[in-house]
C-alpha cells in the first residue's frame, strides 16, 4: 500500500531498473523535459533492483545533481520487477502514481497525457502500446494472446496489461499488495476496489541501449498468475465453495463407480447373457477408492482454506467490503 507520509507532490514517476547504466541518465533528462512546463510538482523515484553494472553509480550522480526531484531506493539484491515496483509505490509521495520502464521504450512525453486522462473521471489509465516496437514471435505474439485471455477472464477490457506505463490515483491502490509477477494485473485489482479503468494509446520506442530482461518464458508465469487472480476474484472470501464443490463432485463420481462395480458383479449376467465380472477384473474398485479419497481431501482442504481466510481478515482487521462514500443526515433529525 502506498505510504502517505512525507512531502506530497502531484506526480510520482516510479522507475524500476536493473542493469540500465546507459539508459537512466537520458531517461532522467527526458522526464524533466516532459514535466518542466507542465505545472505539476513531481518526483522521479528510481528503484534499483540489485544492478550489477554501473547503474547505481549513475543514479547517485543524478540524485546528487537534482535532489529536489530525484529520489533513490536501492534494493540489496535482485527481487524482480514486481517487488521493485511495490517498493516504489510504498515510498512514493505523489497523489498520482505513474510507473514506467527504465529501458527508455516508454516515452515520458506521455506522462502529462496520462495525467490529463485521469481528470476525465478515471482512477486508472493504462498505457496501450498499440504500435509496439518489439520482436513479433517471442514478444508481441504471446503478449497479444495473453492480453486477450486476461481481458476475457478478468472482465477488465484493456488491450495491454503488460505495459508498465500507467497512471493511478493513490487511493485506488489502498490495500493492494503485489507478489510474484503480479504488477501487470494492478488494473484488475484496482477495478475490484471499485476503480474506474480506461486506457490510452502511448508511444513505444525501440530499445537503443542495454538488453531486454524478458523473453517468451514469461508466458508460463502469466498463465499461472492468471489462474491465481481468477481464484482470488471468485473464491478468496469463500474457498470452501471451490474446494468443497470439487470434493462433492469427486465423491459423487466414487458412488457412480461403486454402483457400476456392483452392476458388473451382480446384474451383468441376467441382463446381457454374459457371466458376472469379478471386482479385480475392472479398474472400478480403484477408481471408487481414488475418487472418494480425493473428494474427502478436497472438502478438508476447503475447511482449512476457510480458516486461513478468516484468520487473514480477522487478524489484520481487514474488511470484506470497500466503501466508496457514506451519506448520512444530522443525528437526531
Same-domain check for residues 150 and 31:
yes
Same-domain check for residues 29 and 177:
yes
- Asked if the structure places residue 255 within a domain, the reply is yes
CA distances, 330 to each of 77, 323, 325, 326, 327 (Å): 55, 20, 16, 13, 10
- Asked if the structure places residue 114 within a domain, the reply is yes
| Cell digits of residue 227 | 489462474
Q: How far apart are CA 100 and CA 163, in angstroms?
A: 8
Same-domain check for residues 38 and 143:
yes
pLDDT at residue 271 is higher than 80: no
pLDDT at residue 65 is higher than 60: yes
Q: Which carries the bigger pLDDT value, residue 256 or residue 223?
A: 256
Same-domain check for residues 162 and 56:
yes
8-state DSSP, 182: G
pLDDT score of 273: 56
- Asked if the structure places residue 48 within a domain, the reply is yes
Same-domain check for residues 147 and 274:
no
Helix H or strand E segment including 260: helix 239-262
- Asked if the structure places residue 305 within a domain, the reply is yes
Give the pLDDT confidence of 122-142 residue by residue, as tens digits.
999 999 988 887 776 666 777
SS (H, E, C) 196-214: CEEEEECCECCCCCCCCCC
8-state DSSP, 106: B
The closest of 149, 156, 173 to 222, measured between CA atoms, is 149
Domain count, the chain: 2
Residues above pLDDT 90, as percent of the chain: 44
- Look-up of cell digits 487472480: 229
Q: Which of 202, 235, 268 is a domain's end point?
A: 235
Q: Which of 194, 214, 235 is a domain's end point?
A: 235
| Cell digits of residue 184 | 501487470
The closest of 257, 306, 251 to 279, measured between CA atoms, is 257
- Asked if the structure places residue 211 within a domain, the reply is yes
Tell me the mean pLDDT in the region 305-317: 83
Same-domain check for residues 215 and 309:
no
Tell me the mean pLDDT in the region 85-100: 92
Using pLDDT thresholds of 50, 70 and 90, give the confidence band for residue 217: low
Same-domain check for residues 172 and 126:
yes
Same-domain check for residues 109 and 73:
yes
Tell me the mean pLDDT in the region 101-105: 90
Same-domain check for residues 259 and 209:
no
- Asked if the structure places residue 326 within a domain, the reply is no
Tell me the mean pLDDT in the region 174-184: 71
The closest of 106, 113, 99 to 35, measured between CA atoms, is 113
Q: How far apart are CA 218 and CA 225, in angstroms?
A: 11
CATH number, domain containing residue 217: 3.90.550.10
- Look-up of cell digits 458376472: 276
Q: Which of 235, 261, 290 is a domain's end point?
A: 235
CA distances, 86 to each of 57, 174, 292, 332 (Å): 23, 12, 43, 46
Angle of helix 110-118 relative to helix 24-35, nearest 10 degrees, comes to: 50
Tell me the mean pLDDT in the region 93-100: 94
Tell me the residue range of the domain where 274 lies.
239-315
Same-domain check for residues 227 and 283:
no
Same-domain check for residues 184 and 288:
no
Same-domain check for residues 154 and 256:
no
Give the pLDDT confidence of 278-302 residue by residue, as tens digits.
777 788 889 999 999 999 999 999 9
| Cell digits of residue 229 | 487472480
pLDDT score of 230: 76
Which residues are 99's β-sheet partners? 14
The closest of 244, 237, 235 to 303, measured between CA atoms, is 244
Give the pLDDT confidence of 19-50 residue by residue, as tens digits.
999 999 999 999 999 998 888 999 999 999 99
- Asked if the structure places residue 323 within a domain, the reply is no
- Asked if the structure places residue 329 within a domain, the reply is no
Using pLDDT thresholds of 50, 70 and 90, give the confidence band for residue 145: confident
Amino acid at each position: 500500500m502506498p505510504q502517505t507520509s512525507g512531502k506530497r507532490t502531484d506526480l510520482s514517476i516510479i522507475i524500476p531498473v536493473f542493469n540500465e547504466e546507459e539508459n537512466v541518465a537520458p531517461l532522467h533528462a527526458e522526464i524533466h523535459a516532459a514535466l518542466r512546463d507542465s505545472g505539476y510538482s513531481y518526483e522521479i523515484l528510481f528503484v534499483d533492483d540489485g544492478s550489477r553494472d554501473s547503474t547505481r553509480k549513475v543514479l547517485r550522480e543524478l540524485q546528487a545533481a537534482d535532489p529536489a526531484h530525484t529520489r533513490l531506493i536501492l534494493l540489496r539484491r535482485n527481487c524482480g520487477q514486481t517487488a521493485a515496483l511495490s517498493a516504489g509505490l510504498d515510498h512514493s509521495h505523489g497523489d498520482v502514481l505513474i510507473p514506467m520502464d527504465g529501458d527508455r521504450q516508454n516515452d515520458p512525453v506521455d506522462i502529462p497525457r496520462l495525467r490529463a486522462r485521469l481528470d476525465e473521471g478515471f482512477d486508472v489509465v493504462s498505457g496501450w502500446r498499440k504500435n509496439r516496437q518489439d520482436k513479433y514471435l517471442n514478444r508481441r505474439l504471446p503478449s497479444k494472446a495473453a492480453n486477450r485471455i486476461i481481458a476475457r477472464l478478468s472482465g477488465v477490457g484493456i488491450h495491454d496489461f503488460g505495459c508498465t506505463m500507467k497512471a493511478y490515483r493513490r487511493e485506488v491502490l489502498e490495500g493492494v499488495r503485489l507478489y510474484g509477477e503480479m504488477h501487470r494485473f494492478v488494473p484488475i485489482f484496482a477495478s475490484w476496489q471499485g476503480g474506474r479503468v480506461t486506457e490510452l494509446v502511448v508511444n513505444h520506442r525501440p530499445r537503443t541501449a542495454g538488453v531486454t530482461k524478458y523473453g517468451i518464458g514469461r508466458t508460463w508465469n502469466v498463465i499461472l498468475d492468471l489462474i491465481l487472480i481468477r481464484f482470488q476474484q471468485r473464491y478468496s472470501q469463500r474457498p470452501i465453495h471451490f474446494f468443497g464443490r470439487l470434493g462433492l463432485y469427486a465423491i459423487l463420481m466414487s458412488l457412480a463407480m461403486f454402483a457400476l462395480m456392483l452392476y458388473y458383479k451382480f446384474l451383468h449376467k441376467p441382463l446381457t447373457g454374459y457371466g458376472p465380472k469379478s471386482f479385480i477384473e475392472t479398474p472400478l474398485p480403484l477408481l471408487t477408492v481414488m475418487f472418494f479419497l480425493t473428494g474427502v481431501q478436497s472438502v478438508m482442504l476447503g475447511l482449512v482454506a476457510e480458516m486461513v481466510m478468516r484468520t487473514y481478515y480477522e487478524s489484520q482487521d481487514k474488511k470484506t467490503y470497500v466503501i466508496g462514500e457514506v451519506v448520512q443526515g444530522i443525528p437526531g433529525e
